[in-house]
Amino acid sequence: MRKGKIIVLSAPSGSGKSTIINRLMDNPSLNLRFSISATSRQPRGNENNGKEYYFLTQDEFKEKVDKDEFVEWEEVYAGTCYGTLKSEVTRITESEYSNLIMDIDVKGALNVKQKFGESALTIFIMPPSIEALEKRLRNRSTDTEESINKRLSKAEYEMQFSQEFDIIIVNDNLDEAVNSVTKAIKNYIECN
């Protein structure tokens, strides 16, 4: 029996999704657990296996795909795969009375919605404009010029899918965006 609900956040890189998720995780009334994805990319900085991601080799990732162990998976960047393990969803939504929050790409989010229907709420975090997005990516100072350009051109593609999400929230003022996402999640949890 599924006890918890699934909340999925997607956004073009630099929109503020991680910042918003961190704020939501600090709100005990939402009772959220972060869904740890598997990825074939290398850990970055202080990332630890089993905390930010389950880090797998390409072969290990492929083996799990072949064994049908993923709810969804995507090659988000060329040669780098990310996916949500079935075991992760079961672990949280069937064994605890908490809600699972996923930070996954646009296609992954729509696949989760297709699989879980009313048991999942999909939220698209929209930047106020492409210019603002570019500024945030530059201010974050974590990406090379090439990476910024790759993320910006992908952003326009991703934004085309925004209408397919249950809710779109513009992250212009951060506090307002966090409030809107919080209200949407509370409303969803209480009414479903």
Q: Residue 41 touches which of ligand ADP, ligand 5GP, none (CB < 5 to 8 A by kind)?
A: ligand 5GP
Least spacing, CB of residue 74 vs ligand 5GP, in Å? 4
Q: Residue 174 touches which of ligand 5GP, ligand ADP, none (CB < 5 to 8 A by kind)?
A: ligand ADP
Q: Residue 76 touches which of ligand ADP, ligand 5GP, none (CB < 5 to 8 A by kind)?
A: ligand 5GP
Residue nearest to ligand ADP (CB): 16
Least spacing, CB of residue 26 vs ligand 5GP, in Å? 20
Query: Can you tell me the distance from the alpha carbon of 70 to that of 37, in angstroms, rounded to the nearest whole number?
Result: 10
Least spacing, CB of residue 49 vs ligand ADP, in Å? 21
Query: Can you tell me the distance from the alpha carbon of 114 to that of 130, in angstroms, rounded to the nearest whole number?
Result: 29
Contact set for ligand ADP, span 104-163 (CB under 6 A):
136, 139-140
Q: Give φ, ψ of 61 to 5 degrees.
A: -60, -50
Tell whether residue 19 is a contact of ligand ADP (CB under 6 A): yes
**Can you give the chain as a three-state secondary structure string?**
CCCCCEEEEECCCCCCHHHHHHHHHCCHHHCEEECCEEECCCCCCCCCECCCEEECCHHHHHHHHHCCCEEEEEEEECCEEEEEEHHHHHHHHCCCCCEEEEECCHHHHHHHHHHHHHHEEEEEEECCCHHHHHHHHHHHCCCCHHHHHHHHHHHHHHHCCHHHCCEEEECCCHHHHHHHHHHHHHHHHHHC
Tell whether residue 25 is a contact of ligand ADP (CB under 6 A): no
Least spacing, CB of residue 64 vs ligand ADP, in Å? 25
Q: Residue 98 touches which of ligand 5GP, ligand ADP, none (CB < 5 to 8 A by kind)?
A: none
Binding site for ligand 5GP (CB under 6 A): 13, 37, 41, 72, 74, 76, 82-84, 103-105, 108
Give the binding site for ligand ADP (CB under 6 A).
Answer: 11, 13-19, 136, 139-140, 171, 173-174
